[in-house]
Structure formats: C-alpha cells, structure tokens
Amino acid sequence: MSRREDCTKYLFILPALVFTVCFTLYPLIYNLLLSFKDATAMSLMEGNSKFIGLKNYIDIIKDPVFTRVVLNTIIFTVGSILFQFIIGFLIALLFDNDFPGKNFMIALVMLPWFVPVLVSATVFKLFFADTGLLNNVLLSLRLIRHPIPWITDASKAIYSVTIANIWLGIPFNFIMIYTGLRGIPREIYEVAELDGAISYKKVFYIILPILKPVIITTILLGTIFTVKVFDLIWIITGGGPGNSSHLFSTLAYKLAFTDYNFGIGTATTVIMILIIVIAVSILNQIKVEE
C-alpha cells in the first residue's frame, strides 16, 4: 500500500477523531483538572482558580449529603435494574408467542421510550403529588385516610423516583430480551417438549442459559443509563426534599450551577464516572468469563 493510500485511510477517520477530542476527551480532561482547583464563579471569571489538590474530594466525601447520595444511588440503581429486568423479561416471554394484535401491543409497551423524559417526569410529578392521582385513587378506595407525601417526604422521595425510572426502563429491557428470544431456534423448544419439559423448565434450562450474554449486556447498559440519570429526578424532586433524593448527577449539578462551586461539583462528577467505570469493568469481566 502506497504512502498516499495510507494518508487517505486516516483522512476518513479524521472527522470522528476531531469530534471525539473536542466533545468527549477535552471536556473530560477539563472536568478532571477543575476538580483539583478552588473553582468558583468568581475565580473562573478572574482566571485565578488555585490548585488545591484533593481538597474538593475530601470535602465532598466528608459532607453528610455524600453518604445519602451513595445510599440513594444503590437503592435507585439496584431497584431500577432489578424490576426493569424482571418485568421486561416477563413481557418478552409473553410476546414470544404469536397472538392477534401483537404488533400493536408491542408498540404500547414501547410507549415510555417514545415519550420525552421531560413529559414523563412531569406526569409522574403530578401523579405522586399530595393532591395527585395516586392519592386520590387510594383515598377513594378507602385504602388510606390521609394523602401520602410520596415526593415531599424525605424517606419516600427516592423510592417514588425509582418507580418512575422503572417504568421508563422497561421498554429497553423488553426489546433486548425479546430480540434474544426470537433468535432461539423453535426446534429446541419442540425437542424439550418431547422430553416432557414444562414452561418453567424451558425458562431455566433453555432460555436463561442461551440468553446469558444478552442478559449481561442488558444489565451492563442498564447500569450505565441508571447511574447517570439526571433529568427525571431533577424534574420530579430537584434532589429534595432536604437533599434526600440526590444522585451523583443531580448533586454535581446543584453544587456547580446552583451553589457555583465548580471545583466540588466536578469532583462529584469524577467520582460518579469512576463508579460507572468500575461497575462496567466488573460486568464486562463476568461477560468475558461467560
């Protein structure tokens, strides 16, 4: 291959390289550098942000809100991934059979994906409000005597936003598992039925082993999407009440753009990225071993 052909080959990847450097690599490096500085709105405007080493990281870890954020992230991520997967898996099993109106029903299942998060979050905010639909239904059925503060009580807010996120994530889990199920040869089921395998045995001894790579990929991507959720929580609770429903993403935004403490805000973002990288590495390792 001539030198000219070599240069032409690299020219094709140049746009992607420039885009990655400008919009991914540079912001990441700038974010990392800022996390080691005493960067406030004033110091950034004056251009004299001082290097303070790990002080931002130490300050945010010592903050009582940090412990709450870690606990919230575990509740939100584990709760979302677990129920999104179970519900998505069961719906996929149902749709693996042919029945009238199946394509229309699939479109309905995918509905949460079609609706912008802004709209979904606003609907859930009204749904969980003290005078919202949920409390009105429960009161009319006489299941409760007083409205439950689903998103205005510090002990309930994180669970309410987790429920909202479960609803949003079901279509992704469904379509991943459904696609995997349609790829399993029907002959395997027929042979299993001849051997007397009933429904639950087909799930445990055929479907789950064959779909294991798909399941791990679904959980891996779901974990990445869930840990960095921002808009849903910001719209429903704004991280409140009393910082009770913050995740790393919403806390970082509040610190940077509400408190104008960009140093601690970016340090929080770096911690969130590290958590995602560690989680993805662990799940990837499991996938490779499989």
pLDDT score of 134 more than 90:
yes
The answer to the question of residue 16 being in a domain is no
The answer to the question of residue 152 being in a domain is yes
The answer to the question of residue 29 being in a domain is no
pLDDT score of 236 more than 90:
yes
pLDDT at 11: 82
* CATH code for position 204: 1.10.3720.10
238-to-127, 158, 165, 206, 212 alpha-carbon distances in Å = 16, 11, 15, 44, 37
149-to-29, 131, 154, 245 alpha-carbon distances in Å = 42, 9, 9, 14
The answer to the question of residue 177 being in a domain is yes
What does the alpha-carbon distance between residue 164 and residue 120 come to, in Å, rounded to a whole number?
8
What does the alpha-carbon distance between residue 227 and residue 249 come to, in Å, rounded to a whole number?
8
pLDDT digits (tens, 9 = 90+) for 148-176: 999 999 999 999 999 999 999 999 999 99
Q: What is the extent of the structural domain holding 150?
A: 64-289
The answer to the question of residue 31 being in a domain is no
184, 191 Cβ separation under 8 angstroms: no
pLDDT at 120: 93
What does the alpha-carbon distance between residue 281 and residue 70 come to, in Å, rounded to a whole number?
19
The answer to the question of residue 207 being in a domain is yes
The answer to the question of residue 52 being in a domain is no
The answer to the question of residue 246 being in a domain is yes
Number of domains within the chain: 1
Radius of gyration for the alpha carbons in the chain, expressed in angstroms and rounded: 24
pLDDT over 70 for what percent of the chain?
97
Confidence of residue 180 (pLDDT cuts 50, 70, 90): very high
